[in-house]
Chain A
Amino acid sequence: MFITFLRNAIRFSTIFLFGSTGETIVEKSGHLNMGIPGVMCIGALAGCAGMSIYFNTLTDPSQINLFGAVVLGILFTIVSGAICGVIFSFFTVTLRCNQNITGLTLTTLGAGINLFVFKRLETFSSYFGKASDGFRNLFQVEVGANWFTDVFLSYGILVYLAIIIAVVATIIFSKTRVGLNLKAVGESPATADSAGISVTRYRYLATIIGCSIASLGGLFMIMDYLGGNIEYGLDEYGWLAVAIVIFSMWKPHFGILASFIFGALYIAPSYLNASFAMKNVIKMIPYVVTIAVLVVTSILNKKGNQPPEGLGINYDREKR
């Protein structure tokens, strides 16, 4: 029982981990991207749409080449996420539109397109069910052998990918020049600019990469966790991912733990023998905890735990 819970919590936390790692990278560059929920929706949708192009050439779900389907899905998702990133940065960097507004519009659009297109993909639902085996089992060790393999080795490819990306992001932030430059751009774009760092380039690239990563979260949710069941909206998870960025204080390695905590809290109600009211209370905890972290870090006012100084503010050379 406990092992099952632990395993599912880790699985569930993957959507948060993709979302929060992606958003952390975006926010480090000084972009507050409220479009992450929309990006996740579009990512899931694009992955499924890409696979359905392939399914269209088949006559039977059993013919699916699982490895091919997985690669195709991931590829399409990453590309769609990158496109979202380009759209967001084009509006905020090139057109200097307000970031909150652009993000919220992206979310509205993404959530809308998501539900709309999935309705049209319903003919392929049996194919998605089959393809989700690929996402779940391609690298998995048999479940139920012993507790160690269950907890550590029993996941689909995207779970490992999420953890690897978070670790790599941490290393890039703390050990490389690129990471340092990125942080400089986020903290004080004017200073970075005068030091010869291209604010435009960093913001574009960080947003594109971040959105690609976040979009994988959507694909994971649909194809792995929900087993190819495509009729769910994803925007709520996107907002929680934004919350985790705060909770982890803009540190991707801490984000792994934070995602796990949020994932565990999110699925806990269905494992507890609690009353309906109690379950509602548990569902609120992630948000309350996030606020608590936000308040405590702002009261302590310790450097290093703060949001990037330039977060949410567009850089305009002429306005210095």
Chain B
Amino acid sequence: MLKNFFKENDFIRISRRMEIPTWKKWVFKIAGVLAGFLFAAIVVSFISPGSFFKFFESLIVGNFTTVRKLLVLFEEVAILFLISCALAPAFKMKFWNIGAEGQVLMACLGTVIGMFFIAPNVPNAVALIIELLLAVTFGVVWSLIPTLFKAFFNTNETLFTLMMNYIAKGIVALMITLWIKNGSGVIPVLEYGRLPRIGGQNYIINIIVAVVIGVIFAFYMMRSKQGFEISVLGGSRNTAKYVGIDVKKVLIRTMIITGVICGIVGFLLVAGASYSMNENTVSGRGFTAILVCWLAGFNIPEMAGVSFLVAFMKYGAREVESSLHVGGSFVDIVVGVFFFVVIASNFFITNQVKINFKAFKKKKKEVIE
């Protein structure tokens, strides 16, 4: 009975939408985000009963109460947004680069090489330029290796880039053990070759860079010929071939851009924020950015919004973690649940769900008969 009920699906009908009005799309998106917050709050109140409203309070307290908290929030937004920018063009042309983690980490390594070996002996401006060049070179090399294999041998890029992440981690661990002779395995906070502080705070310059790159990049993706080529390629590889786009060339060019932006992110992370590094400097943001990118539908302004939501959620959850003493990786759970709900809500944008109550009644009658 139940089997037949689902098989002859008169009750719920799912069909793919041909197009959706913009306002409706935004209604679904906002509803999805709200549902995400709601579910996260429900999870929180499961873990610590009675803290449903405390969660929303913590979202505000954890993010907005001091200038420092605001800066931390927006630095996180900046980094997430930049990594998403790095990933977006490749994703748009269906090149699944899940190796941003490693690409940024290698760029961090490049920056540290500059700060460690070169910066103490040259003027700060020169040192910064050298660091940036090193970071970009490392980032580009790490993004180009899988790309070249994809372009010439059609090697599966998802798995290739995933492995490259762990090799990057290994190289960083190796370099740290080779450089730091005292065996502590920690690079001390480096004094030379730092980005200047603005108003005594170190994160501001990262945020400014992210805004500038974001604007340039939005124009590149939405208004330039190269950005158009990328979206044609994403639509259909064959169409792109027929109109005379060189697929390999576009692929390689796009991944060089990815590498450059990852390089800049690594540079900002080390020279603008931590002044040191370890294997976990990127701390999963390379993976989170993939989710950001996809949820925003590769749209640059939306990516900024989603980055904000994720960072907001993260620091809010961290506040809950410390105020309710729940400990552990509470943040990951809340962010994970939030993402799941938002991903699920995307279904309603691409598909139309019709519930046919008449059919339901009819079916019931038949069953009774």
- Report A's interface with B, CB cutoff 8 A: 32, 34, 91, 95-98, 100-102, 104-119, 239, 242-243, 246, 276-277, 280-281, 283-284, 287-288, 290-291, 294-295, 298-299, 301, 307, 311-312, 316, 318-319
Contact of B275 with A by CB under 8 A = no
What chain A residues lie within 8 Å of B177 (beta carbons)?
276-277, 280
Q: Which residue of B lies closest to A277 (CB)?
A: B177
Extra 17 A-B pairs, beta carbons < 8 Å, given A100-B98, A280-B170, A291-B164: A34-B98, A91-B340, A104-B287, A104-B291, A105-B336, A108-B332, A112-B332, A113-B329, A116-B328, A118-B328, A239-B162, A246-B156, A281-B174, A284-B171, A294-B159, A298-B154, A318-B16
Contact of B220 with A by CB under 8 A = no
Name the one of A105, A295, A307, A311 contacting B340, with C-beta atoms under 8 angstroms: A105
What chain A residues lie within 8 Å of B333 (beta carbons)?
109, 112-113, 116
What chain B residues lie within 8 Å of A105 (beta carbons)?
291, 336, 339-340, 343
Known: A109-B336, A280-B170, A284-B166. A116 touches B329 (CB 8 A): yes
Which 9 residue pairs of A and B lie closest in terms of their CB atoms, listed nearest first?
A112-B332, A109-B336, A284-B170, A116-B328, A298-B155, A95-B347, A280-B174, A112-B333, A112-B329
What chain A residues lie within 8 Å of B343 (beta carbons)?
91, 95, 97, 101-102, 105
Name the one of B160, B183, B328 contacting A276, with C-beta atoms under 8 angstroms: B183
- A112 and B15 contact, CB distance less than 8 A: no
- B329 and A287 contact, CB distance less than 8 A: no
Assembled-state Cα–Cα distance A117/B327 (Å): 10
Q: Which residue of A lies closest to B348 (CB)?
A: A95
- B347 and A97 contact, CB distance less than 8 A: yes
8 contacts between A and B (CB under 8 A): A104-B291, A108-B288, A108-B335, A113-B333, A246-B159, A284-B174, A291-B160, A301-B154
- B15 and A318 contact, CB distance less than 8 A: yes
What chain B residues lie within 8 Å of A102 (beta carbons)?
343
Which B191-235 residues have C-beta < 8 A from chain A? Answer: none
Contact of B344 with A by CB under 8 A = yes
Known: A101-B291, A112-B329, A299-B153. A294 touches B160 (CB 8 A): yes
In this complex, the member of B164, B290, B326, B331 whose beta carbon has the largest number of chain A beta carbons within 10 angstroms is B290
Q: Which residue of B lies closest to A292 (CB)?
A: B163
Q: Which residue of B lies closest to A236 (CB)?
A: B166
Known: A96-B351, A100-B96. A287 touches B167 (CB 8 A): yes
Name the one of B154, B290, B336 contacting A112, with C-beta atoms under 8 angstroms: B336
- Report B's interface with A, CB cutoff 8 A: 15-16, 96, 98, 149, 153-156, 158-160, 162-164, 166-167, 170-171, 173-174, 177-178, 183, 284, 287-288, 290-291, 294-295, 326-333, 335-337, 339-340, 343-344, 346-347, 350-351
Assembled-state Cα–Cα distance A319/B154 (Å): 24
Assembled-state Cα–Cα distance A311/B11 (Å): 32
- A283 and B170 contact, CB distance less than 8 A: yes
- A295 and B336 contact, CB distance less than 8 A: no
- A295 and B330 contact, CB distance less than 8 A: no
- A112 and B331 contact, CB distance less than 8 A: yes
Assembled-state Cα–Cα distance A253/B255 (Å): 37
Q: Which residue of A lies closest to B155 (CB)?
A: A298
What chain A residues lie within 8 Å of B337 (beta carbons)?
109
What chain B residues lie within 8 Å of A307 (beta carbons)?
156
- B351 and A277 contact, CB distance less than 8 A: no
Q: Which residue of B lies closest to A316 (CB)?
A: B16
What chain B residues lie within 8 Å of A290 (beta carbons)?
159, 163
Known: A280-B170, A294-B159. A108 touches B287 (CB 8 A): yes
Assembled-state Cα–Cα distance A277/B170 (Å): 10
Q: Which residue of B lies closest to A118 (CB)?
A: B328
Name the one of A101, A115, A277 contacting B328, with C-beta atoms under 8 angstroms: A115
Known: A284-B171, A287-B170, A295-B153. A277 touches B178 (CB 8 A): yes
Assembled-state Cα–Cα distance A7/B236 (Å): 52
Shortest distance from the beta carbon of A48 to any chain B beta carbon, whole Å: 14
Q: Which residue of A lies closest to B284 (CB)?
A: A108
- A242 and B162 contact, CB distance less than 8 A: yes
Assembled-state Cα–Cα distance A315/B99 (Å): 25
What chain A residues lie within 8 Å of B178 (beta carbons)?
277
- B153 and A298 contact, CB distance less than 8 A: yes
Assembled-state Cα–Cα distance A118/B340 (Å): 22
Shortest distance from the beta carbon of A319 to any chain B beta carbon, whole Å: 7
Assembled-state Cα–Cα distance A307/B327 (Å): 41
Shortest distance from the beta carbon of A97 to any chain B beta carbon, whole Å: 5
Assembled-state Cα–Cα distance A109/B40 (Å): 12
Name the one of B290, B329, B336 contacting A100, with C-beta atoms under 8 angstroms: B290
Q: Which residue of A lies closest to B47 (CB)?
A: A116
